[in-house]
Amino acid sequence: VQLVESGGGLVQAGGSLRLSCATSGRTFSTYAMGWFRQAPGKEREFVAAIRRSGITTYYADSVKDRFTISRDNAKSMVYLQMNSLQPEDTAVYYCAADYPHTLRGRSWVPGYWGQGTQVTVSS
């Protein structure tokens, strides 16, 4: 599966952005999908994940209640709505995917990755 992120950019603190991830292939609905991020000088970290049905979701504590992950299986798209952005949310955001049995919570290590999109939040 190929993953292509879009929607990153520069936003002021308190603002919002929506990231999108387009996927290739006809089997999108079989994959668990998610978002990770990597800030300068830090390791890549889990942000959010969503199961095939779109009902079960997982979030990092740092983004819970501010970010919302969703998916549209008909369009083979996954989204990350980010509200109340803070400077510490500045990072490259990566879309990720893998088979559902690999997703067991916030410790997920998916096998498929996009190239990333930069999100910069100014104070």
pLDDT at 10: 98
Q: Side chain identity at 13, as an amino acid letter?
A: A
Position 19 confidence tier, pLDDT thresholds 50, 70, 90: very high
- pLDDT tens per residue, range 45-89: 999 999 999 999 999 999 999 999 999 999 999 999 999 999 999
Between 40-44, 88-92, 102-106, the lowest mean confidence (pLDDT) is in 102-106
**Residue found by looking up tokens 């879009």 in the block:** 6
Phi, psi of 29 (to 5 degrees): -65, -10
Find the angle CA(115)-CA(104)-CA(85) to the nearest 5 degrees: 50
pLDDT, averaged across the chain: 95
